[in-house]
């Protein structure tokens, strides 16, 4: 397609329909528009870059609101993560339809209702991991994925987890949010034939090293099929899960 | 299905076809067979557990050969990673059809030829990262994925990478193997709308901390859609990529 | 016993007293109840999982109070660790008999008075280690252990410690809470023929690394018979000590 | 007892049977013999100090042999850990009855046969953890404990572990040796009402940090009742387990 | 020059114009004045030592104001970094011409207007890195460099960066301020033939380790021509860049 | 220039001299040739990317020799760092004029003699730092810089360093190679008004952490004007110094 | 002496002046009184243990005041470190003569005036290190040492330090307090033939790692004669310096 | 003195005895000779800089021998640390009187016999710490100190240490060499009123972190009067101890 556009442009020059000056201008941006085109070609609702999602922490409510305006001028969907109520209030003034998920600390606005599809499972080891899991859930849903959340099934009480064997086996992809020792990712990895995205949380104290202990645990998982994102990065886990879920929904078999 | 089997068993008891002693024996294993069943249900050639793949490092050639025998008595595929020539020689004596991939340091034997499907892209930053990438490639291929390998496109010469824009956009999933500063994963993540599996390598020295520097780099990727496996864990990256590639090939849209 | 129950169920099916539908329901939970049963079989007042103890830090007073209600609906004992006065006030409103140990920062309620048995010794290196030691003491007592607390006998003044040689020799198990350099655990380990549980505390500054220095000290103890729990984990040390004290009280010699 | 001896000595002075010079000599050693006495009072075969066990690594075969001679001149039992075949050969020349456990890398000699008692369970996550587990087993047996070893039941294949539920519930104390992510300790801790001694192993690579990752995992165990010893410290784990097993066998209930 | 002064002094003694007492006094300071002279010889407005720049953080407004007075009694330029509004207010009372750059958190006063020369480029990966970049810009400008600032061109959207290829190629020296994974320094290093000064920022969370992750990334840059300053050290980066820019402006070719 | 070439191409199309197919092929490479052109525009002997320099460590002699052939087919200069004698022998077979600097462990070949210009000073703290300094020197010389090396002037004997005050003040840029505590970089930074490139070395032991201690020292330099490269990265320091030296030689003042 | 007392006691028994019961009581404390006696034997004003000095941080004003009462009931000197004004107020209420050194954050009370002797030099690298240096000074003075404090002579401006060559050479012992890169300790160590006590401070940011960078610097000092205490431990440095100064004042040459 | 020399020089100029050219040459070195003078003024046998002691590790035997020649051409004493037998052989060829201490791995030659004075005590925790302790002992003796070595008195068997209470109390300064958990330094610090120099050793494994654990332990010593040198730095500890011992022998009381 990019080639077709390029040939059209060059034919325009040959035929005298396009001036050389205009062509130079258009060609200068070519490689970058090329990158953009490819992404639009996948009919994605959100662009793949993180730039389109607002990481609100450390920004003022005013900054968040003005970035939101820019995004919504071209996109149908707004996602603001690590947002406080103050951030939400500023956005809401401009966009009264914006919604705030308190647990996930996310601001969401979707101009058109989207049918959620597929099967993303988000699991937490303990109740303190829920905010991170909620952020993953909201992120994946904003990207069109159907998400189920199962809380508080850490390995200290294995029977709680095993009760959800069917959910684990049926999911397209599983996000495991766990702090303390983070063992849940390995255990779920051993129970599932689908990709597991581990998101270590900073839940714990002392030798938990603010999430570094579960991070190392997940990276060293003795079960294959586990990959890891940054500590407390519910957004990243949800994003990755939604990408994988999308692949599962596409028909790429041809 | 498991429920159907259970009902059959219970009907057998009711009807006197199954003794209570036999039923007790069968039920004791039930939850575990259940776990096993689900996995067989996916018609996978390899079981999802790492137990079926031999991590040869630190095992004697004899140990590897005897584990290989056990695996091949029930499976059609053998994969031995981090294998030396000595390991291979021991396996070859028993299984002359076994193949050794020197670069990947892998022993592979597939009794039946398998058609490789889908589109997994493996990219390395430098030539020293190739062994890790090769392990990822062999692993994913053993699990049925079609894999393309692009070497030496690190960010120090960005033009080398940008030449492969189309390959990057078309892949179902991308494995990025990079040592030193590991920046390639973020850059590829920013160019692709598909999942990127970062595998940091121990290539580098000094502040590279034997791979810890690129590991941290990848975990902190400013591009979303990047998840990470352990340092030098080509097997884990290839396994994860093959899982995701499989999802892309399935028709889960119903 | 679990086998006996299973045989009863199967006999019930055989004899037509239990429907297959009911049996399927009951069997689905079997492996998990099995795990639970075994624990009840030890006549323990508290279940072995941490789920039954409330780690209050990071929970709202309301959350703590509602979890307390669930626990006390089936158990006779409530233990809430790292509890603030606000947490206590919320619990007290529901359960006026609940007690608050300010030093240990624990909420305790025991419906029936329990005779404390055995001999757990808790030793601190300095006065700043007392809160951690107090948490260990309250935890062990809640689990039925008789506990003696000796404070401020750090190795800078060895004569203070040596004065308690008899207490050290007579204890079933010793908890040593120490910050700064944490040397006390090794020294006590060398004086005692019984297990020593080291609990490093975050007392100290600079190269104390918030408790990592005494943690490493205790892990490298030149005296055998010392095992270690997480930094500031008085609960974990007290729990472990109570478990060992229980074993000492049982008659397992047959 | 020590008081009785002291009174005898003082009476001897009063009655003129003991000279003041002799009394001074005897009293100067008093506090140390006192410490020694208390330990002998427990009728232990080995003294509680690590001095009686030879850590062979870094010692010459001759040094090990000569330390062995000193130990066996007063004790009935010799234990040498981290011993090479060369160490063993040197000891065997002097003591032909000495036995070498190749897997545990231990030299053992027990002059009198000892009936092993109690129930110590040693579990490994993978086959590479066996040397550490074997050292724990030999150590505990040398101290009189009956030990059962279950290998290769890591959390990647949970069904392998769950098959041993009964062994886990019946043990007095459990040693869990695990490398990589070390999750097994938490999982076993959640299944057992008895103390679990975690011994992280250096098995793994990259982010395993030579055993630091499983060490952190075990320290952060979400299951209570888990305490930890140094990386690869099979001796320490076995020693601690034997101490706890001894307590379980004693009748301390009075 | 210093030699010339020395010869003048010695001639003065020989000729009796200078007393030996006076000469001793002058010679005692010689080596230090020597150091000072050399620096003045470069006609620099600011002395090379950091002592002349006020690091305001941790100082009271009064302390900053009084140090400012001392500096401005001999120099024409004042630079205060990490300054709060309170610091500024105190300085402004004394020196009403002092200017406060809120984004850079810098107080600046230049008695004589200085023509900015050369070409220093400051690039940020994201908007959160701007304060550090602004500090670099203000510092370099205070030292006489002409500075261009390009914001928010991180590697997640490579096309944003590539648009500035010409600016990158034309700069004498480039400062790259980046947090999170810090990959921008390597990428810019690969695009430029001029020195790149990487300044990692503490922007990020979790495995970002408060800036340590981008610090390691930059130190391990696979592109040559990248050197690094401390985390968040915009001052240091700007100072270094100004030094290099000065060299580019001098005519040292003879 | 790139624009000029583009206009030529487009005119060629307009005039029918260039076919659209050929134009498409040429335009596809445009952005990358653009990047390349800019670098050639600086008339540099070596390309700015690290790809042109061979990091020999971990490559076989044959690999190094064949990469050398590719480089020398288009460039006049070859630089191979961290080269062994075996690497050199393989290169020498193909290129008898290649030179081996044993101390620097570098292979160098320059087809045309180059006049070294400018003034780069390389200083070492101790004799053990010389190999790293020698690598910096050879690298900078290969890039055309005149280099002076001063050895063994560490801060333990400050008088040794102060003797070289004039050399320090006259250099365009100074490389400081120091292990152990690495204090020399700060001290030299305080003595000089020119950029200092610190290269920490892995010389030292224990708390030197294989070069991490001097790395941290240099990053925290209290003297401004110090930037740092990776541990033992003599190549990187020499490359950076040569870049800065080149700037000093250019006449950029217009 | 202790032997003499023992002989007196035993003679008392022999002669019937001391009952065996009383002797047993006295002998039980013997080894500890022995330790105590030895210390009194050195006629020291303060006991050598840290117990006699109050580390106020983390204690309530009431706690500090009551510990002060106990200490002053037997000692002539009170030293409270890391004390706030609140702590001081509480102590002052009881002991109106107590003095508060705001910079050092120390409470001091000496009942009898003490002549300060010897020559302890305390040097700081920057003004931010002064609080730590002041704590060292107050501590050493409380222990009887004459102390001189030289501030702000860090290595960035070496001439400031060299001006104090004579003070450095004349001191019995030198305390160097430095943050950031901590190079001052090595430099002073190279200038002095007397012991240098390095006290790294937490002054700095980023890669300063809250004082860990200067700590490592000082431990790796290339100059011999430097030993180090904990980060910010002005008390420890002053205590050590006073001990060494005392030795210099004693006449131990016989 | 330096002033006197300076006045002589200036008078020489005035009187025409010294030419201005000669005076300039002499004055240029003045400040450095000044530093040198001061040290000679203490009539020390060895200069205070580490340059006079040969750290042999990493040097060839030939290099060591030639440095030895330079040193012995002006000094009466040679000390080579971390020396192998090969180093010794090379030195012995030139200086047949050179002595090799195998345990300390030191080469020593003293042209004139020196009477050892004072009282330095060196204590080790275990037999594996002896090499480090021996290096400390040889170093201190070479510097003129009388040294007593007490081995294997680690805190696991406290009675072994307490037996040496008198030696501990009588020493001028104590060096404590300890690996594993390094607790011995704190314990000795608590028993002594004299300075303790802790030298952590790399003895241990796993969480011992190659000596970092005992290093942290000693830095966090709860007993005051403990300062620390680098891991395994027996030379540094012995040097510091000899410096302190010298002070104790001098009569500085006037």
**DSSP per-residue letters across D156-192:** GGHHHHHTTHHHHHH-SEEEEEE-TT-THHHHHHHH-
Q: Is residue F2 situated within a structural domain? A: no
- What local confidence, expressed as pLDDT, does residue C5 receive? 62
Strand-strand pairing, H173-178 and H196-200 = parallel
Reported as a single tens digit per residue, the pLDDT across E28-49 is 544 433 322 222 222 233 333 3
End position of a domain, from candidates D60, D86, D110:
D110
**Residue H50's pLDDT is what?**
36
Tell if the CB–CB gap between H180 and C220 is shorter than 8 Å: yes
Torsion of CA D189, D194, D197, D201, to 10 degrees: -40
Query: What is the mean predicted confidence (pLDDT) over E63-70?
Result: 87
CA distance E205 to chain G (A): 14
pLDDT tens for each residue of G90-108: 999 999 999 999 999 999 9
With an 8 Å Cβ cutoff, are C156 and G50 in contact? Answer: yes
More confident residue, F165 or C38: F165
The larger pLDDT score, comparing residue F77 to residue H83, is at H83
CB pairs under 8 A between A and F: 35
F78, β-bridge pairs: F109
Interface of D with A in 98-137 (CB under 8 A): 125-126
Is H touching B (3+ C-beta pairs, cut-off 8 A)?
A: no
The residue among B182 and C2 whose pLDDT is bigger is B182
Q: What is the mean pLDDT of residues D129-155?
A: 93
Residue E66, Cβ density class (10 Å: 0-12 exposed, 13-18 middle, ≥19 buried): middle
A187 closest CA partner among D128, B30, D159:
D159
Classify residue B125 by its DSSP letter. Answer: S
- Asked, for residue G21, whether it belongs to a domain, the answer is no
The model's confidence at residue H26, banded by pLDDT at 50, 70 and 90, is low
Tokens of D42: 């427990």
The reported pLDDT for the residue numbered A32 is: 35
The predicted pLDDT at position A42 comes to: 26
Render pLDDT for A34-90 as a digit per residue (tens, 0 to 9).
Answer: 322 222 222 233 333 334 788 898 888 988 898 888 888 877 889 999 999 999 999
Same domain, yes or no, for D219 and D235? yes
* Cross-chain CB nearest to F169 (options E38, E119, E222): E38
H141 within a domain of the structure (yes/no): yes
Which among C243-252, D179-188, H43-52 has the top mean pLDDT?
Answer: D179-188
Residues A224 and A150 in one domain: yes
Average pLDDT, chain D: 84
Please report all neighbours of E, defined by 3+ CB atom pairs within 8 A. Answer: A, B, F, G, H
Residue B164 clears pLDDT 90, i.e. is over it: no
Q: Measured between CB atoms, which of C197, C223, C227 is closest to D50? A: C223
Q: What's the whole-number mean pLDDT along residues A202-215?
A: 93
Instruction: Note whether A93 contacts B: Cβ–Cβ < 8 A.
Output: no
Task: Give the minimum alpha-carbon distance from H73 to chain D in angstroms, rounded to a whole number.
Answer: 39
**pLDDT tens for residues C191-236?**
888 999 999 999 999 999 999 999 999 999 988 899 999 999 999 9
- DSSP assignment, residue F203? -
Count other C-beta atoms under 10 Å from residue C38's C-beta: 20
Same domain flag for C92 and C187: no
Of chain H, the percentage scoring pLDDT greater than 70 comes to 85
Q: Are G and H neighbours with ≥3 CB pairs closer than 8 A?
A: yes
pLDDT in tens, E3-20: 566 777 778 888 888 887
Asked if E35 reaches chain H (Cβ–Cβ under 8 Å), the answer is no
Contact list in B for residue C10 (CB cut-off 8 A) is 13, 20, 23-24
Three-state SS at E120? strand
Instruction: Flag whether H74 is in a domain.
Output: yes
> Into how many domains does chain C fold?
2
Do B83 and B160 lie in a common domain?
Answer: no
pLDDT at F38 over 90: no
Neighbours of A25 (CB within 10 A): 10
Point out which residues pair with F54 in neighbouring strands. F80
For residue B99, how many other CB atoms are within 10 A of its CB? 15
Q: What is the pLDDT of residues B113-149, one digit of tens each?
A: 889 999 999 999 988 899 999 999 999 999 999 999 9
Note whether A231 contacts D: Cβ–Cβ < 8 A.
no
Q: Which residues contact E43 (CB under 8 A, 6 or more apart)?
A: none
Q: Which residue has the higher pLDDT, D36 or E184?
A: E184
Report if residue F233 sits inside a domain.
yes
Q: Residues G8-32: what's their mean pLDDT?
A: 70
Of H156, H182, H217, the CB nearest to C223: H156
Residue A176 lies inside a defined structural domain of this protein: yes
pLDDT band at F23; cut points 50, 70, 90: confident
Rounded alpha-carbon distances, angstroms, from residue G240 to A71, C79, D57, E240, G228: 63, 46, 37, 40, 10
What's the start-to-end Cα distance of chain C, in Å?
20
Q: How confident is the model at residue G239, as a pLDDT?
A: 96
Q: Is the pLDDT higher at A11 or at C188?
A: C188
Q: What is the pLDDT of residues H185-205, one digit of tens each?
A: 999 998 888 999 999 999 999
Task: Compare all CA atoms of chain B with the CA of A38 and give the residue at the minimum distance.
Answer: B169
What pLDDT is stored for residue H228 in this prediction? 97
Q: Where does the pLDDT of residue B43 fall: very low under 50, low under 70, confident under 90, or very high at 90 and above?
A: very low
Confidence of residue F43 (pLDDT cuts 50, 70, 90): very low
Residues C133, C55, single domain; the answer is no
Query: What pLDDT does residue G254 have?
Result: 55
**A244–B contact, CB cutoff 8 A:** yes
Same domain? For F97 and F121 the reply is: no
First to last CA, chain B: 20
Task: Among E162, E180, E216, select the one facing B222 at the smallest CB separation.
Answer: E180
The distance of H197 to chain E (nearest Cα, Å) reads 33
Q: State the pLDDT confidence band at D16, using cuts at 50, 70 and 90.
A: confident
- φ, ψ of residue B252 to 5 degrees: the values are -100, 15
- The answer to whether residues E46 and E79 belong to one domain is yes
Which of E43, E230, E235 lies closest to E139, judged by CA?
A: E235
User: D12 CA to chain G: closest CA distance, Å?
Assistant: 9
**Candidate from B87-91, B226-230, C174-178, E208-212 with smallest mean pLDDT:** E208-212
Tokens representing residue C217 in the block? 């000290």
Please indicate if any CB of chain G lies within 8 Å of the CB of D30: yes
Q: What does the pLDDT read at residue C175?
A: 98
Residue with tokens 């007592």: C141
CATH (domain of H193): 3.40.50.1970
The pair of three-digit structure tokens given for residue A223, joined into one six-digit string: 């079960």
Beta-bridge mates of residue H110: H77
Nearest one of C114, A44, F166 to E1, comparing CA atoms: F166
| G88, G203: one domain | no
**Poorest-pLDDT segment among E186-190, G163-167, G221-225:** G163-167
Least confident of A246-250, B160-164, F184-188: B160-164
Distance between H127 CA and the closest CA of chain E, angstroms: 39
- pLDDT of G15 reads 84
For chain H, helix (H) and strand (E) counts, in that order, are 11, 9
Pairing relationship of beta strands D196-200 and D226-228 according to DSSP bridges: parallel
Subunits with 3+ Cβ pairs within 8 Å of D are A, B, C, G, H
Distance from CA of B173 to the nearest CA of E (A): 17
Contact G215 C207 (CB under 8 A): yes
Which residues in chain F have their CB less than 8 angstroms from residue G207's CB?
A: 216, 219-220
Contacts of C104 (CB under 8 A, 6+ apart): C81, C131, C134, C135, C137, C138, C234
CB–CB of B48 and A190 under 8 A? yes
Residue ranges making up the domain that contains F223: 117-253
Which tokens hold the place of B20?
A: 């209570």
G235 close to H (CB below 8 A): yes
> Is the separation of the CB atoms in G40 and G31 below 8 Å?
no
Question: Which residues from chain A sit within 8 angstroms of residue C212, using beta carbons?
Answer: 207
Partners of E128 on chain A (C-beta within 8 Å) are: 58
Task: Give me the pLDDT at residue C98, please.
Answer: 96
Residues 6+ apart with CB under 8 A from G113: none
Domain boundary among B110, B141, B169: B110
> Could you tell me the pLDDT band of residue B254, with boundaries at 50, 70 and 90?
low
Q: What is the pLDDT of residue A40?
A: 24
Report whether pLDDT(G37) > 70: no
- Residue H24 pLDDT level (bands cut at 50, 70, 90): low
Give the per-residue pLDDT at G3: 59
Give F5's contacts in chain A (Cβ within 8 Å): none
Indicate the SS3 state at residue D107.
strand
Q: What is the pLDDT of residue B89?
A: 97
* G156, G159, G205: residue with CB nearest E50: G156
pLDDT of res. C163: 77
Report the pLDDT averaged over residues A201-220: 94
Distance CA D177, CA D135 (A): 11
For C142-199, write each residue's pLDDT tens digit: 999 999 999 888 888 787 788 788 899 889 999 999 999 999 999 999 888 899 999 9
Residue E163 lies in a domain: yes
Higher pLDDT, A104 or B53: A104
Which among B83, B110, B137 is the end of a domain? B110
Q: In what order do the strands lie in the sheet with D106-110?
A: D54-55, D77-81, D106-110, D99-101
Q: Cβ contact (<8 Å) for F253 and E251?
A: yes
**Chain B residues with beta carbon closer than 8 angstroms to that of C14:** 13-14, 16, 20
The answer as to whether D139 is a domain residue is yes
Q: Which of G187, G207, G213 is opposite residue F187, by nearest beta carbon? A: G187
Residue numbers in C near H186 (CB within 8 A): 155-156, 181, 183
pLDDT over 60 (residue D218) = yes
pLDDT digits (tens, 9 = 90+) for F200-248: 999 999 999 999 999 999 999 988 899 999 999 999 999 999 999 999 9
Taking only residues 146 to 205 of chain E, the set having a beta carbon closer than 8 angstroms to any beta carbon of chain G reads 200, 202
CB contact under 8 A, F23 and A10: yes
Q: pLDDT for B94-107, tens place per residue?
A: 999 999 999 999 99
Distance, in Å, from the CA atom of D55 to the CA atom of D76, rounded to the nearest integer, reads 18
Confidence of residue A222 (pLDDT cuts 50, 70, 90): confident
Of the partner residues B35, B58, B202, the one whose CB lies closest to the CB of residue D128: B58
> pLDDT value at position D148?
96
Q: Nearest residue on chain H to E32, judged by CA atoms?
A: H31
Search chain E and give the residue with CA nearest G208. Answer: E230
Q: Does the pLDDT value for residue G202 go beyond 70?
A: yes
Q: Which of E156, E163, E203 sits opposite A50 (nearest CB)?
A: E156
| Beta carbons of E207 and A212 less than 8 Å apart | yes
- On whether both B80 and B192 belong to a single domain, the answer is no
Across C76-102, average pLDDT:
95
Alpha carbon of A166: minimum distance to chain E alpha carbons (Å):
33
D228 contacts in chain C (CB < 8 Å): 219, 227-229
Query: Do residue D148 and residue D166 come from a single domain?
Result: yes
CA distance A84 to chain E (A): 17
> How far, rounded to the nearest angstrom, does the alpha carbon of residue D3 sit from its chain's CA centroid?
31
* Same-domain pairing of C105 and C146: no
pTM, whole model, 2 decimals? 0.85
Chains E and A touch (3+ CB pairs under 8 A): yes
Burial level of G148, CB count in 10 A (0-12/13-18/19+)?
middle
Query: Under an 8 A CB cutoff, do G35 and C158 touch?
Result: yes
pLDDT at A1: 34
Is residue G40 less than 8 Å (CB to CB) from chain E? Answer: no
pLDDT at E251 over 80: no
Q: Are residues B134 and B186 in the same domain?
A: yes
């Amino acid at each position: 397609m990019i080639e077709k556009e390029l040939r059209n442009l060059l034919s325009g020059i040959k035929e005298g329909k396009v001036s050389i000056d205009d062509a130079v201008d258009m060609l200068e941006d070519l490689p970058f528009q090329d990158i953009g085109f490819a992404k639009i070609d996948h009919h994605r609702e959100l662009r793949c870059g993180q730039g389109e999602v607002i990481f609100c922490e450390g920004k003022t409510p005013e900054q968040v609101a003005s970035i939101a305006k820019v995004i919504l001028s071209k996109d149908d969907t707004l996602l603001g993560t690590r947002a406080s109520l103050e951030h939400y209030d500023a956005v809401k003034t401009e966009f009264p339809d914006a919604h705030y998920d308190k647990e996930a600390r996310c601001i969401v606005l979707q101009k058109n209702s989207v049918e959620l599809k597929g099967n993303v499972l988000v699991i937490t080891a303990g109740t303190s991991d829920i905010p991170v899991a909620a952020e993953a859930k909201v992120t994946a849903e904003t990207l069109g994925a159907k998400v189920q959340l199962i809380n508080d099934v850490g390995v200290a009480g294995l029977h709680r987890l095993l009760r959800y064997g069917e959910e684990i086996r049926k999911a397209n992809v599983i996000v495991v949010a766990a702090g303390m020792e983070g063992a849940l990712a390995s255990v779920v990895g051993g129970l599932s034939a689908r990709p597991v995205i581990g998101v270590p949380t900073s839940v714990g104290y002392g030798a938990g090293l603010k999430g570094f202990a579960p991070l190392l645990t997940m990276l060293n998982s003795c079960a294959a099929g586990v990959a890891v994102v940054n500590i407390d990065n519910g957004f990243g886990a949800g994003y990755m899960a939604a990408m994988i879920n999308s692949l599962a929904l596409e028909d790429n078999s041809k």
